[in-house]
Structure 1
Amino acid sequence: MKISGFSYVRNGFEYGYPFMEAVQSVLPVCDEFVMAVGDSTDGTREALTKLDPQKIRIIDTTWDMKLREGGKVFAQQANTALDNITGDWAFHIQADEVMHEDDLPKITAAIKQHNDDKQVEGFIFPFLHFWGSYHYIRTSRRVHKHEIRIFRNDKLVRSYADSQGFRKYSSIEAYEHGEKGEKLTVKKIDAPVYHYNGVRSDKVQKKKMHTFDFLHNAETTENDYSHFDYQNVDRVELFKGTHPAVMQEKVSAAADDFVFDPAKSVWKTKDKIMQPIEDVLGFKIGEYKNYKLLR
């Protein structure tokens, strides 16, 4: 049973991605790790070469801006890394996602338990979405609750949409011609993904969000996020857990200048109505799930 990690990144330092920590957090459970590194100019590639040359392989890529609509370039990069792994299981970790060392035994145990059960095609993980600082997590119905991060490497699984999840296709050609694919049948591993997408400085976050939109929408302009403010959010809660050890240096060095003010929260009308109902029910009504969960 061989586990291969894979990811992609481009100018990770410039855009404030904890990509080094992301890779380090899963290396202990991976037999190899393949990273597709886009044409970076900020030392991203050089830093990765110093991590663990015995396990990490770098695939040099150039991001094709013809694929920017709908974030297809992200899927292309994920697939490039995926195509170069050799393991029985693929472990995808994105550049702003980190696993806690205390949860790694759960991951290896789950894979071993279901390795011979072909009905289990992958695993979903719950997410902790950090917002504004390392002390808050966003908990509204607007954030995704679970995503596939581990699946069997049978070469017919491809990155779905903008690489947020994965599906299985009848052939690579069918995938490239727009086939919707089949949702993977998965089990849940109770090991949260620490998603640090919302803890950059205001300046870096504005730059990141603009570039992200640029890679999704050709109409994006330079001023789209000139008034970005972390206070403009629906709901966050204090994080009461511990951060992964690989993140401790970043957490300790961070400025703790964000304090959420509930009076300034911004809700869409539908969400404001539905959120208290869903809080009582304990689930999101009509939640989109890009997987089939085995109980």
Structure 2
Amino acid sequence: MKISGFTFVKNAIKLYYPIVEAITSILPICDEFIVACGDSDDGTTDLVRAIGDDRIRIIETVWDPKYFVHGAINAQQTNVALNQCTGDWCFYVQADEVVHEQDLPGLREKMVRYLNDSEVEGLLFDYKHFYGDYDHYQIGRNWYRHEIRIVRNGIGTQSWKSAQSFRKDGKKLRVVRADADIYHYGWVRPPKQMKQKQIALDSLHHDKEWVDKHHADHTVEYDYGTLKNLAVFEGTHPQVMQHRIAQMNWRVVEKPGSKEKHKHNKLSVRALSFIENKVLRRRIGEYRNYLLIK
């Protein structure tokens, strides 16, 4: 059995993406790792190259603005890397997603178990969306709980829409549970870099007029709002993240008079999330971009 890791990235240094941690978190079980490195202006490609592992193959790309609509560039770049994978299974991590080392043996065992079971087209991961710092994560109903991150190769699977998931010929993949977490650090950055990341992300989904309207001042810090409605993380972070966590040099403080109204802090969302998490133990009307078969 051969496992291919793959990802895409651009300007990871400038925007504080833990790309090295993302790659090295799953590299121990990969036979190859394909990285689509966009035309960065901050040395990101050299950073990836400096990992210094022969299994890593870099594809240098130029991001085409025609794909800067609804995040389509993310899927296009994901597919650049995916289409070069030669393994039986393709293991995807985005530049802000990390896998805990404790889950790697079980993930490999799952891929071995279902290698010859063509009914299984992917593995479905649980998500921990860290927010503001490394001690809090989202449990609100407006944050997705599961996504596909391992897909079977050679069946026509492609990245879907803004690269949140995958489909085959436009149809949902048949998946089994990975019984592992994706540690998502996409909302953990110094406030100034969080603002720049938000602008960069919005620029891939909206036109310049929309971006300028919603980000009139590009120099302000991102307002995380209060963290008191989030879950407190009591577990351990992946080992590859320890150095970055130790370098954390900001603290999220609720700003007096802040007008920031994040959806997860709205009373209606908090109330319904509480009912779903504590009473029903399920999400009402949850969007599922997969078919769970086992």
Superposition TM-score, scaled by structure 2 size: 0.91
> In structure 2, the residue corresponding to 1:190 is in which secondary structure?
strand
2:4 alignment partner, SS class: strand
CA distance in 1, matches of 2:165, 2:291: 12
CA contact (8 A) 1:83 1:155 kept: no
The residue that corresponds to 1:127 in the other structure is: 127
Counterpart residue number, 1:223: 216
> Is the 1:124–1:189 Cα contact (8 Å) retained in structure 2?
yes
Q: How far apart in 2 are the matches of 1:110 and 1:86?
A: 19
Partner of 1:63: 63
Secondary structure class of the residue paired with 1:39: coil
Identity of aligned residues (%): 42
Question: In structure 2, the residue corresponding to 1:246 is in which secondary structure?
Answer: helix
The answer to whether the aligner puts 1:277 opposite 2:268 as a matched pair is no
Give the direction of change, closer, same or farther, for the CA distance of 1:73–1:269 in structure 2 (3 Å limit).
Answer: same
Q: Residue 24 of structure 1 corresponds to which residue in structure 2?
A: 24
Pairwise CA distance, 1:294? 1.5
Residue 192 of structure 2: SS of its match in structure 1? helix
Deviates most, 10-19 or 271-280 = 271-280
CA distance in 1, matches of 2:108, 2:51: 22
Deviations along 1:26-83, one digit per CA (max 9) or x if unpaired, are 1011100000000011111111112134100000100111111100000000000011
Corresponding pairs, count: 282
Aligned position for 2:82? 82
In the alignment, is the contact (CA less than 8 A) between 2:192 and 2:221 conserved in 1? Answer: no
Match of 1:110 in 2: 110
- 1:255 corresponds to 2:254: no
Amino acid paired to 2:273: Q
Do the aligned partners of 1:140 and 1:234 also contact (CA within 8 Å) in 2? no
User: What's the CA shift for 1:270?
Assistant: 4.3
Displacement of 1:135 after TM fit? Answer: 0.9
Work out whether residues 236 and 260 of structure 1, in 8 Å CA contact, stay in contact via their aligned partners in 2: no
Q: Which amino acid aligns with 2:45?
A: R
In the alignment, is residue 240 of structure 1 matched against residue 229 of structure 2? no
State how far apart, in whole Å, the 1-side matches of 2:137 and 2:197 are.
Answer: 19
- Give 1:274's aligned amino acid: L
Q: Give unmatched runs, 5+ long, in structure 1.
A: 170-180
8 A Cα contact 1:124 1:146, kept in partner: yes
Residues 103 and 191 in structure 1, CA contact (< 8 A), matched pair in contact too: yes
Partner AA of 2:195 in structure 1? K
Tell me the secondary structure at the aligned position of residue 150 of structure 1: strand
* 1:200 aligned partner: 189
Counterpart of 1:123, as a letter, is L
Cα contact 2:140–2:270 (8 A) shared by 1 = no
| Gap change, CA 1:224 and 1:284, over 3 Å in 2 | farther
How far apart, in 1, do the equivalents of 2:32 and 2:221 lie? 42
SS of the residue 2:273 aligns to:
helix
Q: Which amino acid aligns with 1:275?
A: S
